[in-house]
Every structure is written in structure tokens, then in C-alpha cells.
Amino acid sequence: MTRPILTRLLVTLTGATALAISASAPAHFQELIPAVEIVTIKSGNPVVLQLQFTHPMERGPAMDMGKPARFGVLGPAGQEDLLASLTAREVEGKQAYAAEYRVKQPGDHVFFVEPAPYWEPAEGVMIVHYTKVVVDAFGAGEGWDAEVGLPVEIVPLTRPYGLWTGNLFSGIVKQSGQPVPFAEIEVEWRNDGSVTPPADAFITQVVKADSNGVFHYAMPRAGWWGFAALLEGETPMKNPEGKEVPVEAGALIWVRARDMN
Ligand SMILES: [Cu+2]
């Protein structure tokens, strides 16, 4: 091997290492996790929902959540503002929230949150993860694909509850109501402590949407799965220092898979 080639190889390797380091920055995920995804007579009502901004596969570290800008539900009775029902709680000393919701009638309930923008100096962006989760009440089976109309939103193509482990989950990534071709979607499992990822690439799975903004992912384990399409927001925001910076507008949806046993 001649010297120039070796030098080039070293430069390439160094570049690759630098890239690998920046790409392995763990993925932030806004969580919106209900105690149950299907409300039955036995499951209990009200439903408790936990909101936390964290790294689900790595079980932290958590980040402080500011008071959400919006929290609500789109259900059989239309849209309901639930902001006043949020209660502050702490996770690992970080600000998080919880809410209780009493289901009043059968039907699918699309809970959603628009968190307060989060300043991430490491990436130079303000992060806003518009997050949804669908809870079915009393087997109604209707309304799970209703669109909230968030600036960025994942609209499920697979009914997002009653899912077995191994099922394929499909959805459309939308921004301002339009499909986003070839959007990148990060996928994480909400680790209960039973899995240690063998390499960083296993922490966050990455899939891309097709030309119609449609993506698919087969869930290999029971539990909660978060799907996050990270898009650039249409208008910049001011960071805490008053400087205009880009916005990472995340469209998230959480779904639960259960084992066949
Ligand atoms: Cu992170």
C-alpha cells in the first residue's frame, strides 16, 4: 500500500468515525403512554396517561418538559381540550406530566400533545414532538385513523391497537396535511430493562417512507413502540438566547404490541 492511499484511508476512517459519533447521538422521543390501549369494563376507567421526554430504548436520560402548548383528545364527541387535566410530576428529577381521562362513551380516542419547544444545543435546533396515541374504548373500533390536523402527523394505516408481537405497523407521514415522500422514521422500543442493545444501531431502528410517505415496521417484541418522523418545521423559532434556529418537528405515534399467549 502506497503512502497516499494509506493517508486517504486514514482520513476516510477518521471521517467515518466522526460521522458515527454524531449519528449515534441518542434519539429523543416524546412519550405519551396510556395505562391501557383498550379500555374494557375490567381495565379500569379513568385511563392514566404518562408524558415524558426521554430516550425509550436506553431508559433515559430524561429531559425536562416545559408545560405543553396543547394536550387533548379527538374522540367520538369531537375534540376536547385536556390541558387543564395535566399534572406535573418528576422523573429522575426532570419535569414530566401525567393526566387522567374518564372515557364517557365507546369509540376510539386519539390523544395528542404538542409539547413546549425544547432547545437542544448539541443539534442547534428547537425540538417539538407532536405525539399521538390511540385508545379504544369498549370495542368500538372506529375513529383510530382520524387526523388531528397537527402540523406534522403520522396517520396510521394499521389499526394502532389490538396488535400482536410481530405485526407489521404501517402509517403515512404528513406535514401540513400532505404526505412526505421518503421521510425518515426512527423507531424505538420502550425498554423495560430486559434488552441490552448489542450495538448502537440497535437502539434506534430507521426506516424510510416510500414516495407516498407510507412506511412499515414489523414489531419484534411485546411492549410500546414509538415511531418518530423527524421533519424540519416550516417556521424557525427563537432559541433561549433569542437567536433564530431551525425547528425539528417530530410526528410521533405510540402503539403497543402484545404476545400471543
Ligand atoms: Cu436525545
Say what the pLDDT of residue 44 is. 83
CA 229 to centroid of ligand 1, rounded, Å? 15
- Residues, beta carbon < 5 Å, ion ligand 1: 26, 28
Q: Is it true that the peptide bond before 61 is cis, omega within 30 degrees of 0?
A: yes
Domains of the chain by residue range:
27-258
Residues 126 and 245: beta-carbon distance below 8 Å: yes
CA 171 to centroid of ligand 1, rounded, Å? 24
Instruction: Please give the chain's pLDDT, 261 residues, in tens.
Output: 333 333 344 444 444 444 433 444 568 999 999 999 999 989 889 999 999 999 999 999 999 999 999 999 999 999 999 999 999 999 989 999 999 999 999 999 999 999 999 999 999 999 999 999 999 999 888 999 999 999 999 999 999 999 999 999 999 999 999 999 999 999 999 999 999 999 999 999 999 999 999 999 999 999 999 999 999 999 999 999 999 999 999 999 999 999 999
CA 87 to centroid of ligand 1, rounded, Å? 24
Say what the pLDDT of residue 80 is. 98
Say what the pLDDT of residue 2 is. 33
CA 40 to centroid of ligand 1, rounded, Å? 35
Alpha carbon distances (Å) from 85 to 45, 70, 102, 132: 15, 11, 11, 17
Give residues with Cβ within 8 angstroms of 143, minimum separation 6: 74, 75, 76, 107, 108, 109, 110
CA 144 to centroid of ligand 1, rounded, Å? 29
CA 136 to centroid of ligand 1, rounded, Å? 30
